[in-house]
Amino acid sequence: MITYLYWGVVIALVVGAMTVFAGKLNNVRLALASSAVILLVGWGAYYFHFQQIFVKRFGGVMSISVPAGQRHIAATWKDDNLWVENYDPASNTCIFSEYSRGNMLQGQVKIKDCNPLMPRQPGVQPPAAPSVAP
């Protein structure tokens, strides 16, 4: 819903620029140029910044894909940034990546010799959980 409101404001700004520059000032070139700038800035702001914020704070839909050859483990939000954990079986590395559109300001943490998807070996019991004293 918030996305529709955002694009409604952007379109209202475009229509307002067209009305002022083409209608009142009678300058069609300036109207088209200002409308194109408003649309480009609005699209860039949404794509590179606002989409994650809208999805996290107000609900919405966002799609990302797992890089080829990796397996997805988990995803979590830290402030307004989405962090995704994947596992690369070829290098036996867990990769925590900060997701950002256009790979701008993207952090990454690699943990070597990480094998979270190792199958349980027969006859080996997992460690018991610590007991809590009453």
Pair (27, 75) in one structural domain: no
Task: Determine the pLDDT at residue 13.
Answer: 94
12, part of any domain: yes
Alpha carbons 116 and 73: distance in angstroms, whole number: 9
Instruction: Record the pTM.
Output: 0.62
Task: Determine the pLDDT at residue 105.
Answer: 59
* C-beta of residue 88 within 8 angstroms of C-beta of residue 110: no
Pair (38, 78) in one structural domain: no
List, edge to edge, every strand of the sheet that includes 71-78: 71-78, 81-88, 93-99, 108-112
134, part of any domain: no
32-42 per-position pLDDT tens digit? 999 999 999 99
Q: Give, as one character, the DSSP assignment of residue 102.
A: G
Task: Determine the pLDDT at residue 129.
Answer: 47
For the chain, the domain total comes to 2
- Within 10 A of 94 (CB to CB), how many other CB atoms are there? 21
Task: Determine the pLDDT at residue 132.
Answer: 57
Relative to beta strand 93-99, strand 108-112 is: antiparallel
18-66 per-position pLDDT tens digit? 999 888 888 889 999 999 999 999 999 988 888 888 888 888 778 888 8
Domain that holds residue 35: 2-58
Task: Determine the pLDDT at residue 64.
Answer: 84
Lowest mean pLDDT among 1-10, 12-21, 97-106: 97-106
74-105 per-position pLDDT tens digit? 998 887 778 899 998 888 889 988 887 655 65
Task: Determine the pLDDT at residue 7.
Answer: 92
